[in-house]
Structure formats: structure tokens, C-alpha cells
Amino acid sequence: MMKLSVSAAAACLLALPAFSQSPANPLSGGAKFLYNITKDDVLKSAQEMPEANYSFKPVSTVRSFGELVGHVADAQYEFCAPVVGDGTKSPGIEKNKTSKADLIQALQEAFAYCDKAYDNMTDARGAEMVKFFGQNAAKLTLLNFNSAHNDEHYGNMVTYLRIKGLVPPSSQHQQAPPATKKKTY
């Protein structure tokens, strides 16, 4: 059984595209690769959830699904603005947008903004220090923190989707296709 599990894991890793498309910048290339996974999962989750469920909260003490989408969008500016260096501030999406269409548009714009930080990153630039909440941090650390934050909230989104009977994006490719033939005995 262990041999089968290791073989399956190795097959999955071989099926993934290279973590870094640039041998000259393996650290920043790997960071961009992971960011794109989290970005894709969050965006697909936002698209998957029906508009009627954007106000859904599993319990009253947590964010609604729509607030999660807005929070992730706002965070793109918080993490990426110090890396981009243009002084952009978070636009307050979580507090100001409620419709699915508005939140998805804001999320797409936020990811497009953050894409600039990842697209222009090199391993050397990743070591440059910037201020983040009053602390010094390497640019690449902020980008990795952004991906971790995206993934943290994607995990929340997965729970919301599953409660509503939906399959999260990262699990959709793992589902077996429906049987097309009836069994004959």
C-alpha cells in the first residue's frame, strides 16, 4: 500500500508543470508558480459559488463567502504594494462590494495588480527589503506570505462550497467521470 501511495504521489508531481520556468530565478519562479495555483483556486471558487450564497456564513461569527472574496482581493494590495513600490492602498473591497459580479471583478483586478509583482520578480530583487506593517521583510517573503494567505482563505472557501454541496476547484479534477454504462451481470 505504501509503495502505491508513493508511486501515486510521484506520478502527480511529474504531471505538474515545472515549479520554476526560469533556471536563473528558481526561487521567484517557484513563488510565482504557487501564487498562480492559489489565485486560480480562489478565483474559480468565487465563480463557482452561486450569487445567492455570497451572503452565506456557516456561523454568525465568521465572514460571509462574499466577504472572504473581498478580503482576499484587499489583501492582494496589502501584500503586493510594498513589492511593486507604487504606494497603492487597499481599496476596501470587503466593506464596499457585495454582489458576485462586483466582487469577482474586484478580485480579478486585485490579482492583475499582484501579477505585476510576481511577473517582475527575480531572485535578486526578492532579497530586497521593504517595510510591511512596520517591519522589514524581503520582497519574496511578502509574495510567499500572500500565497499562504490566499491558500488559507481558499481553505475557508472550500468549507463554504462543500456545505452548499459544491465541489471545490482543487478537487474537481480528482472526481471520477460518471459511469456511462450500466453494469450487466
CA 46 to chain centre: 11
Residue 112 has pLDDT above 90, yes or no: yes
Question: Are 115 and 160 spatial neighbours (Cβ–Cβ below 8 Å)?
Answer: no
Residue 8 lies in a domain: no
Kind and range of the H or E run holding 16: none
Which pLDDT does position 21 carry in this prediction? 61
Domain of residue 151: give its range: 21-167
Residue 9 lies in a domain: no
Residue 7 has pLDDT above 80, yes or no: no
The pTM (predicted TM-score) of the whole model is: 0.83
Instruction: Count the domains in the chain.
Output: 1
Q: How confident is the model at residue 23 (pLDDT cuts 50, 70, 90)?
A: confident
Which pLDDT does position 173 carry in this prediction? 76
CATH of the domain at 72: 1.20.120.450
Residue 124 lies in a domain: yes
Residue 54 lies in a domain: yes
Which pLDDT does position 63 carry in this prediction? 98
Residue 96 lies in a domain: yes
Closest to 76 measured CA to CA, from 38, 48, 47: 38
Please report, for residues 55, 67, 98, 160, the alpha-carbon distance to residue 156 in angstroms, rounded to integers and kept in the order given: 14, 11, 18, 7
Residue 157 lies in a domain: yes
The pLDDT of 40-59, averaged and rounded, is 97
Residue 185 lies in a domain: no
